[in-house]
Amino acid sequence: MLDLVPIAIAIHALAAVVWVGGMFFAYTVLRPSLGKFEPPQRLTLWNDVFERFFVWVWMAVIALPLTGYYLTFEYLGGFGSAGMHVHIMHLTGLVMIALFVFLYFIAYRNYRGAVAAKDWPLAAKNLNTIRQIVGSNTVLGLLTVIVGASGRLWG
């Protein structure tokens, strides 16, 4: 029988890298680089970036809990047997997913509508909301990566 644990670990790690790495890049590299563009160009470009990136985030939002629960129950024997780091990853992952769902269905929907209407002040206001959520999720994601990478060694 095929051992799915290594495959689940690989998918879990790749999904985390794509999501957290994408947010880190967008927040620390892309965002400051776009400051020299005028609002219509900057806001339209962000709309294009989000449209592409959020497809990958949705894949991560599906893959991370599926592989995380699979690994927790099939490999670790359930939450009762799991270390504290697994519980922390579980909590931060759920918070990150909730923040993304809010971002996608509220802030991003409003942002897309404002960009389509060429209402640049409203688009900028919604982009600021998205920026704050992405900033929070980037910090949570980086902390979760640290916990995931080091938690087994906590003793």
Q: What would the pLDDT profile of 83-139 be if each residue is shown by its tens digit?
A: 999 999 999 999 999 999 999 999 999 999 999 999 999 999 999 999 999 999 999
Q: Kindly report the pTM of this predicted structure.
A: 0.95
pLDDT of residue 31: 96
- Give me the long-range contacts of 45-50 (CB less than 8 A, separation at least 24): 46/111, 46/127, 47/111, 47/112, 47/115, 50/108, 50/111, 50/130
Mean pLDDT of the chain: 97
pLDDT of residue 102: 98
Are 141 and 22 in contact by the 8 Å Cβ rule? The answer is no
pLDDT (tens digit per residue) in 36-53: 999 999 999 999 999 999
**What's the CA gap between 86 and 102, in Å, rounded?**
24
**Coil, strand or helix: which one is 113?**
helix
**What's the CA gap between 106 and 102, in Å, rounded?**
6
